[in-house]
Structure 1
Amino acid sequence: MIRKKQHIKTIYIIMLLIWGSMGACALKAQEPARPVVQQVSFPKDTLHITEFGAKGDGQYVNTNAINKAITTVSEKGGGVVLVPGGLWLTGPIEMKNNVNLHVQRDAVVLFTDDFDAYELVESNWEGEPAWRNQNPISGKNLENIAITGAGVIDGNGGAWRMVKRDKMTDSQWKKLVASGGVVDEAGKIWYPSESSLRGAITQNAGKGHAGQTAADFMDVKDFLRPNLLVFTSCKRILLEGVTIQNSPAWNIHPLICEDLTVRNLTVRNPWYGQNGDGLDIESCKNVLVENSTFDVGDDAICIKSGRDKAGRDRAMPTENVLIRNNIVYHGHGGFVIGSEMSGGARNIWVEDCSFVGTDIGLRFKTTRGRGGVVENIFISNINMTSIPGEAILFDMYYGLKGSLPKAGEQGDAVAEIPAVSEETPRFQNFVIRNINVNGAEKGIFFRGLPEMSIKNIVIEHANIVAKKGIEILEASDIVVKDLMLKTAETNPLIHVDNSENMVFTDLKPVGDIDLLIHVSGKSTKNVTFTGVKTEKVKKISAFTSGASEEALVIN
């Protein structure tokens, strides 16, 4: 129930309320300047790939012709390499300086399913150095490059990817198995070859040590799937208009790049595609992603900066990123940061986006051992519908297996709290505003670490319809302002555990509420509600697991 307050507590509450009302404004005052992304520029000189012997019949392998056209244009000072209408089968394409590879609308660039066309090369996999098959499209240490047009670039990923039995109908599974390949002993996963299966059961396949060569990994070569398009250490990049789809692993992976523009793309992968991410921006600076559509098998638009020690040693955060006016359909997350964010991420804006059917909407994930600081993230005007998991999720236990529950996965709580170190990740300084959600399993979920809470988060002006309401564990300095919340489960509407300095202002529960807030944990303190609509609330509060009634004030 609402308690009578002594004079000194009243003053303290007023201070909390002032802080809560000003929290978003304070962060806004600290908001850095938005990124200025330098653009590409090319001479109008154009060469057709057919001038170099290319044939668009879907049979002839055009690897040499396409690469010779790109090299010739680059050596002449730059220009356009035109891919005209046709079905252009090819092996790996290597971009060069000052080249715009333009794919006409009636053109399909299809990468060969002949694995021998892809050499094993020293590369990068999920934020760490590794040996992989050569990327179908790649470029390193380049400047002023583009892929434009309205055609299709297809990575032929079905030839590479393993497929889980539970992702298929019975008839689809039988057809897949009959096509060739092998099935594991448990009968649960199909692999395209024995080499692919061997890699799946080999620990850390592809991760080499000093002195190793490609020959050391030939027995698992088929397992080492490439990302479809990878640019590394490049400057001034434009990806515009084309459809990029069906990747062996991630679709688009800019790594350590500057001045990247992604505009009007369609990025597609089968919903069941293993590691079928859409766009993974890793350790990049000055990025614009706009007016694009994603429908993929894993995270859609994702921010990364390296994994664990490799990412910390690289020490290159992804920063100065503007993401706006995009639509995401299937995907594990609509907009995602992590989990490989060990180099940090900062100064990122996400605006005017729609997520339709993504597993999670806004997904921020990490775990102990990663390290890295994620901060100064500004998100506004996001619409979500048909979200099977959480609309807004912060999770610092990502990927752990065991007894700690979380949506769709399991994790292990650590009994002994470790000391804070460079391996301790941080999520802090987020402003999330103007959010509309119609249909999610849970509205808001925070789960920080006992040694490092999720800090300084503002959520304001949100309308959420979900099965469950809000769950916040190990968080501090949280402001939730002007939230309309309608849930099927109302016992409780909000659960706060081992968290402190939280202000809920102008909360608007919809319908009958069995229990407004469940407070748990000895560390919970300074949780304040003001302006909450309690007319249809049967019970205001409950306290368990050592939580004190003094931790909660409802004004």
Structure 2
Amino acid sequence: MGFSRKSNVIETLISALFLLGILSSCVAQCRDDRHAETIQFPALNCRKHSAVLTDFGGVGDGKTSNTAAFKAAIANLSQLAKDGGAQLIVPPGKWLTGSFNLTSHFTLFVHKDAVILGIQDESEWPLLPVLPSYGRGRDAPGGRFSSLIFGTNLTDVVITGNNGTLDGQGAYWWKKFKEEKLNETRPYMIEIMYSKQIQISNLTLVNSPSWNVHPIYSSDIIIQHLTILAPIDSPNTDGINPDSCTNTRIEDSFVVSGDDCIAIKSGWDQYGIRVNMPTKKVVIRRFTCISPDSATIALGSEMSGGIQDVRAENITAINTQSGIRIKTAVGRGAYVKDIYVRGMTMSTMKYVFWMTGSYSSHPDPGFDPKALPVIKGINYKDMVATNVTYSARLDGIKNDPFTDICISNVNIKLTEDPKELQWNCTDIQGVTNRVTPTPCASLPQKEIDCPFPEDSLPIEDVKLKTCSLY
């Protein structure tokens, strides 16, 4: 080989190394021969480059902190965003870590034999300011701990795996919460803020300190194939909480929780009204919930930016307090409207239908008592329920009734010891058809089939690509 040719080869190699940001680490196309099998997975976008956490000093022994390793890996890989993006592979092992932030055009892939463990050292959970639409932390008036996996102002982010595990080791935080020893709000498992094109999929989440999945102020979100598990007495371990988000798709997932399995939110009282970011265009399908003390799908109670156009179908609830629950109160303002649910199967329920107009938890005394919520256009159809204690408790607000409620083709079979008053209704208006037991007088029978939209939301038409890692 002549000198000129050698020189060109060397220059090419140096240019490639510089471009890929691997002058000091094994990034981009490097692979660990121990995990050399090809794995295919669905994603919004595939990445040109790939790295493994161990390339950045990660130690998967369940004892060594990997917070610095995650941060170094993501900082390095962020340089590749404009060159096809990068994916970080979390290989088999137990990877103890505090909070870390993601980057754009990036995939975090958790191997099926990998566990990301939330560390129980509070110094490795940075503090964040309160959310603008909440005005305070939910657990305490002050700030809040950053989530285990966090991101803000991002585009094109994929958090996925082949059923790898995130374990928040939440018992430490639950104990402090129950003992009222928290000065800041507990961390969530995954929180993405002010972002777009988000995918969270094919993972198992266990023992979150508080909420599990919390996209907020974001759009174009796909959440699918998640298993979320928490003890049924664990505090506020909501499953999936889209909050002031537009175009969200939740599907093919299973949640066991100490709180609502899905809670759709949009801000709290005067703070949510001021921020004015509704949650709208949500589709939920093929979803199963177990939560003896909470709802399968809750709308609110923090709904002060508004909730509109939610479509849920093929939903299963087992040993759960309620099916669909609307939670609001004087001071919330805004609206919950254009809600459509069909094809729901429920077993061992306290309530099938529950609407609450007196959910009076407020961030502070500064809420506006004249801010009345508008609840209208609530449509339920094609449901069966067995072993039910109460068919419905529907409580509107005096001088602010919940209107345009439609319930059709619903068969409720009661427990052996049901409550005598099956439909408890105040300050509501609507119609029913082919519903048993017979509904309350506020919901008279009318020959009607409650509507469900025939069009599809834009997020439903998003197709995932088949990506690979080696």
Indicate the TM-score class for this superposition, using the shorter chain for normalisation.
0.7 to 0.9
Distance in 2, matches of 1:86 and 1:333, equals 35
CA-to-partner distance for each residue in 1:468-496, whole Å, 9 max, x for gaps? 421211112x11101132xxxxxxx6544
Does 2:108 match 1:160? no
Cα distance in 2 for partners of 1:437, 1:88 equals: 42
Structure 1 residue 259 corresponds to structure 2 residue 196: no
8 Å CA contact 1:368, 1:397 repeated in 2: yes
Which residue does the alignment assign to 2:130? 123
Kept in 1: contact 2:99–2:126 (CA 8 A): no
Out of 18, 40, 43, which is 2:44 matched to? 40
Percent identical residues: 29
Q: Distance in 1 between matches of 2:58 and 2:378?
A: 51
Map residues 107-122 of structure 1 onto 2, 5 A cutoff: 107-122=114-129
Change (3 A) 1:280 1:190: closer
2: CA distance, partners of 1:420 / 1:125? 20
Gaps of 5+ in 1: 1-38, 163-180, 182-188, 200-219, 402-418, 486-492, 508-555
- Relative distance call for 1:190 and 1:265 in structure 2 (3 A) is closer
- Please name the residue that 2:372 is paired with: 424
Contact 1:126-1:340 within 8 A present in 2 as well: no
Q: 2:55 aligns with which of 39, 45, 51?
A: 51
| Whole-angstrom CA distance in 2 between matches of 1:280 and 1:125 | 17
Alignment of 1:66-85 (within 5 A): 66-77=70-81, 78-85=85-92
Aligned to 2:34: none
- Pick the aligned partner of 2:402 from 443, 454, 465: 454
- CA drift of 1:420 comes to 8.8
Structure 1 residues 494 and 258, CA gap change in structure 2 (3 angstroms)? closer
Structure 1 equivalent of residue 329 of structure 2: 367
Partner residue, 2:110: 103
1:470 aligned to 414, 423, 445, which one? 423
1:152 and 1:494 mapped to 2: Cα distance? 44
Alignment-mate amino acid for residue 264 of structure 1: H
How far the C-alpha of 1:241 sits from its partner, in A, is: 0.3
Structure 1 segment 505-524 matched on structure 2, within 5 A: 505=446
CA-based RMSD of the aligned residues comes to 2.1
- How far off its partner does 1:459 sit? 0.3
Task: Tell me, yes or no, if structure 1 residue 379 matches structure 2 residue 341.
Answer: yes
| Superposition deviation, residue 262 in structure 1 | 0.3
The answer on whether the counterparts of 1:88 and 1:107 sit within 8 Å (CA) in structure 2 is yes
Residue 269 of structure 2 is matched in structure 1 by: 308
Structure 1 residues 420 and 132: CA distance shift in structure 2, 3 A: closer
User: 1:484 aligns to what?
Assistant: 436
TM-score (norm 1): 0.67
2:306 matches 1:356: no
Which range is displaced more, 444-453 or 341-350?
Answer: 444-453
For residue 279 of structure 1, the aligned residue among 220, 225, 240 is: 240
Deviation readout 1:356-387 (Å, 9 max, x if unpaired): 11111111111111111110011000000011
User: Which residue in 2 is equivalent to 1:436?
Assistant: 384
Note the alpha carbon deviations across 1:508-541, whole angstroms, 9 max, x for none.
Answer: xxxxxxxxxxxxxxxxxxxxxxxxxxxxxxxxxx
Change (3 A) 1:400 1:260: closer
Q: For the Cα contact (< 8 Å) 1:42–1:98, is it kept in 2? A: no
Q: Secondary structure of 1:291's match?
A: strand
Greater Cα offset, 67-76 or 110-119: 67-76
Q: Distance in 2 between matches of 1:438 and 1:99?
A: 45
1:237 aligns with 2:205: no
Which of 1 and 2 has higher RCO (CA within 8 Å, sep 6+)?
2
Tell me which amino acid in the other structure corresponds to 1:305. Answer: S
- The separation in 2 between residues aligned to 1:314 and 1:233, in whole angstroms, is 13
Long gaps (5+) in structure 2: 1-42, 138-142, 363-367, 449-470
Bigger mean CA offset, 119-128 vs 426-435 = 119-128
TM-score with structure 2 setting the length: 0.78
1:503 has 2:459 as partner: no
Secondary structure at the residue paired with 1:74?
helix
1:420–1:452 Cα contact (<8 Å) kept: no
- Paired position in structure 2 for 1:295: 256
Q: Partners of 2:208 and 2:329 in 1: how far apart?
A: 27
For the Cα contact (< 8 Å) 1:483–1:506, is it kept in 2? no
Greater Cα shift, 277-286 or 463-472: 463-472
Q: Is the 8 A contact 2:201 2:226 kept in 1?
A: yes
SS at match of 1:116: helix
Could you tell me how far 1:281 is from its partner in structure 2? 0.8
Tell me what 1:143 maps to: 155
Q: Report if the CA contact (8 A) 2:280-2:310 is conserved.
A: yes
> 1-side partners of 2:178 and 2:265: how far apart?
29
Query: Structure 1 CA distance, aligned partners of 2:201 and 2:332?
Result: 33
Structure 1 distance, partners of 2:412, 2:447, is 14
Structure 1 pair 146–372 and aligned structure 2 pair: CA distance change class (3 A): same
Match of 1:515 in 2: none
